[in-house]
Structures are given as C-alpha cells and as structure tokens.
Amino acid sequence: MGVGPHDERFMAAAIRLSRWHTGLTSTNPSVGCLIVRDGVIVGRGVTALGGRPHAEPQALADAAELARGATAYVTLEPCSHHGKTPPCAEALIAYGVARVVIAVTDPDPRVSGRGIALLRAAGIEVDAGLLEEEGRRALAGYLTRQTKNRPYVTLKLAISADGMIGREGGGQVAITGPAARAQVHSLRAETDAILVGIGTAIADDPLLTVRTPGLESQSPIRTVLDPALELPLTSKLVNSARDVPVIVVARPEMDEARAEPLRSAGVEILPCDPYHPEVLLPALASRGISSLLVEGGAKTARLFLDAGLVDRIQLYQGPGTIGEGGIESPLQKTDMPSGFAHRGTFIFGEDRLDEYEREL
Ligand code: AOF
Ligand code: ZN
C-alpha cells in the first residue's frame, strides 16, 4: 500500500502526543501511539508518567475491538522484550492491527529491529521511518543517552541588546520579561537536570526550580560545578536540597570539612572533575539523566561549547542594555559554532528566542 499523505498527518499528531510526557517517563522514552480506523482516531496512548505502561497497550485498550484491522502510528519501534511489561509488538498482534507505521527504530539492543520483525512475521504491514527526523527530535534525550551514553545538552543564554549576559557583581539581572521566563520554566519542567557553575551559584543565588503553577513538581535535579566546595550553606540551593535534589560536582580530592555540612543539608556530592564534561556527562547519564539544561554562566557555557558537548542552543535576546560592567556573552548570534542549524525564531513579548540545533 505504501505511505500516503494521511500517514504523515497522523504521525505528526502521534509525535505531538508523545511530547505530553517528555522528561516525565524516567529513563523510558515518552512514546506516542494513535490507532486509526477508516481515517478516524479510535485510540490514543502516551507512555505513562514514570515510564509504564508503554504507549501501545493504552492506545489499544482505548480502541478496544475497533483496533482489529486498524493502523497504529507509533513514534518509536514497538518493544519486543519481556521487560517490566509484556512486549508491545505482541499486544499489537493480539488486537489484530493490520498495519503499523513507525517514525524511529529503537536503539535499545533488546528491541532494535526485533519489534519490526515480530510484527512482520505475524503478517502485519510495517512502514518505518515516517517523519523520522521530527520523531528523533522528540526522542532526543532517550536517543542521546542510548547511543552516546550522555544526556542531550541544551545551552540557554539570555543576552541584552548590547550582547551582555549580566553585570559584574550585580547578582541576578533581568534581561528577559515574564513570557520568556515562563517559557524557560516549561523547558526546565521537561528536562531531567539543570546545571550552573559555582560563580553563578554564588553571584545569583538561584533556586533553579520550576515555579509555573501546576508544574512545580517537575523541577529538574539541580547540579552545580563546584570544584572546591564553595557553595554557601545559606544558599537557596542548599536550603531547598531536601525538596528538590541538588548534586554538587566537586574535585575527587575534596575537603571533608566542607563536604560534610553540605551532605547533612541533603546535598549529594559527586566526585568528578568539574572541568571535564566528557567525563561528567556519562556519570550523569548512568544516573538516568537523559537531558541537561546548561543555564550559566559564561565560563560554564564556554566549557561545554569548547568540548563540543552542546546539542541545542536557545538564545534569548531582550530589548534592554547593560552597558558599564557588563559580562559579555560567550556566544553571539553572529558566531554560532559550525554544525548548528537555525531551527526557528519565537517571540515572547518584547523578547526574541532563536533556537539552533546540531544533527542528532
Ligand atoms: C514501547 N512503547 O511507550 C516505550 C518503549 O523497562 P521497560 O520494560 O519498560 O522497557 C524499557 C524499554 O522499552 C526502553 O528502553 C525502550 O526500548 C522501550 N520503550 N517501548 O514499545 C513505549 N516507552
Ligand atoms: Zn513496549
């Protein structure tokens, strides 16, 4: 039969559905599944919060007997392994689905190719690779952790009209307005961990949580690169460590007298050279962190850029100037590193967001 224009429309809808739970499914990918019969959606499912059940059994249960002879649109190859739940490929077969359309094949070695093979062996027509690029972007965290053993890294910068990201000794400086800030909070909500350098942690005393009403429980793990354990015990980060986790990345040969009170306040100390992101990122990935948001400051941004370990750049530009005593942005629109493609421009009130992304 082959792939038709309606297939793209339904797959695009399945990808949108998958984004509902991005960052909220633990180490599992957030997958979207639609069951379509005679051009009508009769079942839908997205990987449940925490990662289980998977998308397909939920969509199939939703469609019930209407799944027989229908087409399933799934953003990731249905699983074939007996994990914590039975294989989704078997569920699709049992419900009598006639055709399965897939965006991205699963790199998980327990599944890769086997899901498709199981479906075909049961006589189901399978079309794989539809809207693959969009599907890969929606699954970026999962795919990066599976194939590169590190989280997908987003660098976010807010730059004033005169190219500054803050003021020396000025604490937190408002560069963008409330609409852009709300946008950053929803990005935090779909991200597993957020990272700043000790300079920013001391100068700004940030909280780094999600404060959008209704999303407060989705705050990322807060990570500070703090080689010599200088994070003040009176900081907002330390004081909230029992509510939202804080990981301090310190040099392995650390001063125990500094480490102990931090630990007692609920902070986890990760002994790892803070200046080697190529070592730190796999350590974070092994804790199940699939996405990381680097939020400051200039030195930390440079560290990740120079290591070639940034996948996406979000550059916010506000209308105000900082002038005298300004800290220059480590990156301007005019000197984007090679390999980054401009993905789009978005307007939030008086602010502008330009997004750049590397090939996954
Ligand atoms: C699907 N549909 O919605 C998701 C899938 O630990 P388990 O047993 O839940 O298995 C985790 C693996 O399942 C994960 O690595 C990935 O291969 C797949 N995730 N598969 O068919 C889904 N979330
Ligand atoms: Zn599954």
* Topology of domain 151-358, CATH: Dihydrofolate Reductase, subunit A (3.40.430)
Q: How far is the CA of 227 from the centre of ligand 1 (A)?
A: 37
Q: How far is the CA of 76 from the centre of ligand 2 (A)?
A: 9
CA distance 159 to 310: 18
Choose the residue to mutate in 15, 28, 75, 290 for probing ligand 1, maximizing ligand atoms within 8 Å of C-beta.
Answer: 28
DSSP single-letter state for residue 219:
P
Residues having CB within 6 Å of any atom of ligand 1: 28-29, 31, 47, 51-52, 54-56, 76, 78-79, 83-85, 88, 106, 108, 111
Predicted local confidence at residue 118, as pLDDT: 97
Backbone phi and psi for residue 215, each to the nearest 5 degrees, phi listed first: -110, 5
Between 169 and 280, name the one with better pLDDT: 280
Q: Which of 8, 56, 77, 190 is catalytic?
A: 56
Predicted local confidence at residue 132, as pLDDT: 97
Q: In the chain, which residues fall in CATH 3.40.140.10?
A: 5-138
Domain 5-138 matching CATH 3.40.140.10: the answer reads yes
What average pLDDT does this structure show over 183-192? Answer: 95
CA distance 250 to 41: 51
The neighbouring-strand residues paired with 348 are 351
Q: In the chain, which residues fall in CATH 3.40.430.10?
A: 151-358
Yes or no: say if 343 and 133 are a contact pair by the CB < 8 Å rule. no
What average pLDDT does this structure show over 256-265? Answer: 97
β-strands 193-197, 221-225 pairing: parallel
Which atom of ligand 1 approaches the CA of 110 most closely? 17
Predicted local confidence at residue 1, as pLDDT: 59
- How does residue 292 score in pLDDT terms, banded at 50, 70 and 90? very high
Predicted local confidence at residue 230, as pLDDT: 98
- How does residue 4 score in pLDDT terms, banded at 50, 70 and 90? confident
Predicted local confidence at residue 226, as pLDDT: 98
Q: What is the pLDDT of residues 76-111, one digit of tens each?
A: 999 999 988 899 999 999 999 999 999 999 999 999
Choose the residue to mutate in 30, 79, 139, 145 for probing ligand 1, maximizing ligand atoms within 8 Å of C-beta.
Answer: 79
Which atom of ligand 1 approaches the CA of 52 most closely? 9
Q: What percent of the chain has pLDDT over 90?
A: 91
Answer yes or no: is pLDDT of 305 > 70.
yes
Neighbours of 294 (CB within 10 A): 26
Q: How far is the CA of 54 from the centre of ligand 1 (A)?
A: 6
Backbone phi and psi for residue 245, each to the nearest 5 degrees, phi listed first: -55, 145
Answer yes or no: is pLDDT of 359 > 90.
no
Which of 188, 193, 357, 217 lies closest to 291 in space, CA to CA? 193
Q: What percent of the chain has pLDDT over 70?
A: 100
Q: What is the pLDDT of residues 240-259, one digit of tens each?
A: 999 999 999 999 999 999 99
Q: How far is the CA of 267 from the centre of ligand 1 (A)?
A: 31
Answer yes or no: is pLDDT of 3 > 90.
no
pTM score, whole prediction: 0.94
- Sign of the four-CA dihedral 63, 64, 66, 70: positive
Predicted local confidence at residue 360, as pLDDT: 81
CA distance 337 to 225: 23
